């Protein structure tokens, strides 16, 4: 196992062999050498897929195939367009997975438009049309890529997979590529989804970081659309993205921008499916998409366009939810981060790269100044005259060093063998035409430039801010925000479909449902659940049925509200009981009870009532003919509770209102409940 795999997964612990019973003459082991081999190979494969294929690197924000593509373009960059097929072939020297994966990754990277300039048909993000064959399309690096992500002097290289070439370990990118491009990848047990962000906003946020000010960032998608990022949670949550829909006239809506992750074909298919399911009343669809999305939806006169727009967002791909989970490779290990952490890391890395560039520039300027000073001294002090009498190369070198020895304080560093060889290679014509004033001016210029570099090194943060502002001035206008940030009003699918189904009751045959004729009970949504109650105390929760047999003992069918307070009066044995209750949680399609087995419900309601009016049957033994029971202060019980006794007398009428023939003169004292 490689050191990187040990870092990622740890050592494989050796296991004791457990010999299994012999069956067919073969020796099988549960944890033997084969198991160890499988474990070792699987870990090697898993580590490879995680680090070298699926998950981007935190440092330069690229997956290996993207890095190799960009490096191949850099190696072959002469300012002219290059056939994609040629780049694919060159990249295969570094990438061991064939041309198809390289071509697909190149097209995807080119369609982001940051680093690869396209020529030809690279497909269409809106329609999902594929790119033309690699031999017919061309590409080259953009100025942004040339200037901001390459520097061979600061790049570490390793041998390619076959050892014939050198490829970069990471590119010294000075811009936050990871958050610019976004990334998706599925590895062994790990996946990542990083949403793309706006280039200008990222650099402005880096300036805020350097100024130690707060900042916020939200995704930006190339397809545009509208976005609600209230639940984005700095890259740990999700965003809602909607199509941009406009009213063309009283009967037509036009989709101008589509959500990311969809195409016009998939969007239209979802709209047609919603129309078939009755969610939208649609007359026709016309797709005029070319460079920009344009889908016309024509509705019948009776369709309200505002309601239709809400239905499009609720039941089609006109609104999609996109989750974000940021996993990256940091120090050869997968780690989970958020957007702010990544941008702060990128800003710290930017400072380190700028510092290395300044230090390298200072060394180059110092070397140039050293060389020019040597030439001036060599010519001005006529040191070349001292080598005329020398007989050997060693004597020549010694004479030059001896001639320069009094002036070492004017030099930037010690004299090397190469310095002497350079002086000896100066042609006579250059010595005879040497311009001392010009040389002195050039040295003064170099001194000023070295001073500027030293100043920038001493104030690295202000230098980085100036650098970022310069990049924004140069490229910012090319990358405006495409996805507009807004807040969506929540769309309730239940509200949109509240009257979609009409539940009818065929009393004669004992069926209820939305596909039968009969007495209309209620209108409901397919998302609702119905509570059905029978006279014998049974109850059941069901989805709105097409056709359901309930017999002729049905007494209640309404949309379920598990917290709603209901009242029931039922007879059981020789007593009449009353209770107020809530149904609570019920398992769908399973019968439960609101009254004990053997009960007969005399009164049931889901409305608030202050009192019950009870009239008893005529009986010589009963002196009180009518009573009023106050129920508003009765406690609310559970569905399974028995309830207190209302009366032991046989009841003729019970209700929340007086019967039409109620006689107040016959009303007895207020009734009292007796707990069982």
**CA 542/CA 548 separation, integer angstroms:** 10
**CA 71/CA 99 separation, integer angstroms:** 16
- Which among 45, 114, 136, 616 is annotated as catalytic? 136
* Active site (annotated) includes residue 45: no
Q: Which residue spans within 617-675 are E strands per DSSP?
A: 626-630, 636-637, 645-647, 651-655
**CA 369/CA 361 separation, integer angstroms:** 12
Residue 227, φ and ψ in degrees, nearest 5: -140, 135
Residue 646 has a CB neighbour count (10 Å cut-off) of 27
**Token digits of residue 169:** 């370990």
Q: Which residue spans within 281-389 are E strands per DSSP?
A: 284-287, 295-298, 319-323, 327-330, 333-336
Which of 612, 609, 624, 620 lies closest to 665, judged by CA? 624
Q: Are 116 and 107 in contact (CB under 8 A)?
A: no
**CA 178/CA 326 separation, integer angstroms:** 10
**CA 174/CA 167 separation, integer angstroms:** 19
**CA 295/CA 227 separation, integer angstroms:** 20
Residue 289's contacts (CB-CB under 8 Å, 6 or more residues apart) are 126, 127, 264, 295
Residue 159's contacts (CB-CB under 8 Å, 6 or more residues apart) are 165, 166, 167
**CA 334/CA 314 separation, integer angstroms:** 37
First to last CA, the chain: 76
Determine the 3-state secondary structure of 329 from DSSP: strand
So which residues are the catalytic ones?
136
């Amino acid at each position: 196992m490689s050191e990187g795999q040990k870092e990622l997964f740890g050592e494989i612990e050796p296991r004791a062999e457990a010999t299994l019973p012999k069956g067919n003459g073969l020796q099988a082991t549960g944890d033997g050498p084969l198991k160890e081999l499988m474990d070792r190979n699987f870990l090697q494969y898993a580590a490879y897929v995680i680090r070298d294929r699926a998950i981007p690197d935190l440092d330069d924000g690229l997956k290996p195939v993207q890095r190799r593509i960009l490096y191949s373009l850099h190696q072959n960059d002469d300012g002219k367009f290059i056939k994609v097929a040629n780049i694919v072939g060159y990249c295969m020297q570094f990438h061991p997975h064939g041309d198809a994966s390289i071509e697909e990754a190149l097209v995807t990277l080119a369609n982001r438009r940051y680093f690869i300039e396209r020529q030809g048909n690279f497909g269409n993000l809106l329609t999902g049309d594929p790119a033309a064959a690699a031999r017919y399309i061309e590409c080259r690096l953009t100025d942004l890529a040339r200037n901001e992500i390459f520097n061979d002097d600061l790049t570490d290289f390793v041998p390619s997979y076959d050892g014939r070439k050198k490829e970069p370990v990471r590119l010294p990118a000075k811009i936050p590529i990871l958050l610019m491009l976004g990334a998706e990848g599925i590895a062994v047990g790990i996946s990542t989804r990083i949403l793309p962000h706006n280039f200008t906003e990222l650099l402005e946020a880096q300036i805020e970081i350097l100024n130690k000010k707060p900042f916020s960032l939200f995704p930006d998608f190339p397809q545009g659309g509208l976005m609600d990022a209230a639940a984005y949670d700095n890259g740990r949550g999700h965003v809602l993205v909607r199509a941009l829909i406009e009213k063309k006239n009283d009967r037509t809506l036009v989709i101008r921008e589509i959500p990311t992750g969809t195409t016009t074909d998939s969007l239209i298919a979802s709209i047609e499916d919603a129309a078939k399911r009755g969610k939208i009343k649609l007359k026709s669809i016309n797709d005029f998409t070319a460079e920009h999305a344009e889908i016309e939806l024509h509705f019948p006169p009776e369709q309200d366009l505002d309601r239709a727009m809400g239905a499009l967002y609720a039941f089609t791909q006109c609104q999609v939810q996109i989750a974000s989970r940021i996993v990256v490779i940091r120090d050869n290990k997968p780690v989970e981060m958020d957007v702010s952490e990544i941008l702060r890391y990128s800003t710290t890395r930017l400072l380190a790269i700028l510092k290395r560039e300044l230090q390298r520039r200072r060394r180059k300027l110092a070397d140039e100044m050293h060389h020019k000073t040597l030439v001036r001294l060599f010519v001005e002090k006529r040191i070349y005259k001292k080598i005329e009498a020398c007989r050997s190369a060693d004597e020549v070198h010694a004479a030059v060093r001896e001639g320069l020895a009094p002036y070492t304080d004017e030099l930037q560093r010690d004299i090397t063998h190469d310095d002497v060889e350079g002086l000896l290679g100066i042609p006579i014509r250059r010595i005879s035409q040497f311009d001392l004033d010009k040389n002195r001016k050039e040295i003064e210029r170099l001194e000023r430039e070295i001073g500027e570099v030293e100043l920038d090194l001493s104030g690295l943060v202000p230098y980085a801010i100036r650098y970022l502002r310069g990049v924004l001035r140069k490229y910012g206008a090319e990358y405006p925000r495409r996805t507009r940030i807004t807040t969506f009003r929540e769309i309730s699918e239940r509200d949109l479909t509240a009257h979609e189904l009409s539940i009818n009751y065929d009393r004669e045959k004992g069926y209820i449902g939305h596909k039968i004729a009969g007495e209309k009970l209620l209108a409901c949504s397919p998302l609702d659940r119905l509570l059905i109650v029978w006279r014998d105390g049974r109850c059941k929760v069901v989805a709105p049925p097409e056709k359901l047999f309930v017999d002729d003992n049905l007494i209640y069918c309404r949309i379920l509200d598990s917290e709603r307070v209901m009242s029931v009066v039922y007879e059981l044995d020789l007593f009449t009981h009353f209770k107020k209750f809530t149904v609570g949680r019920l398992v769908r399609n399973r019968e439960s009870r609101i009254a004990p087995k053997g009960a007969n419900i005399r009164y049931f309601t889901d409305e608030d009532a202050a009192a019950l009016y009870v009239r008893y049957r005529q009986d010589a033994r009963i002196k009180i003919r009518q009573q009023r029971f106050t129920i508003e202060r009765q406690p609310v019980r559970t569905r399974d509770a028995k309830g207190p006794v209302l009366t032991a007398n046989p009841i003729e009428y019970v209700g929340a209102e007086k019967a039409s023939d109620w006689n107040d003169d016959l009303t007895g004292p207020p009734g009292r409940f007796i707990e069982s």
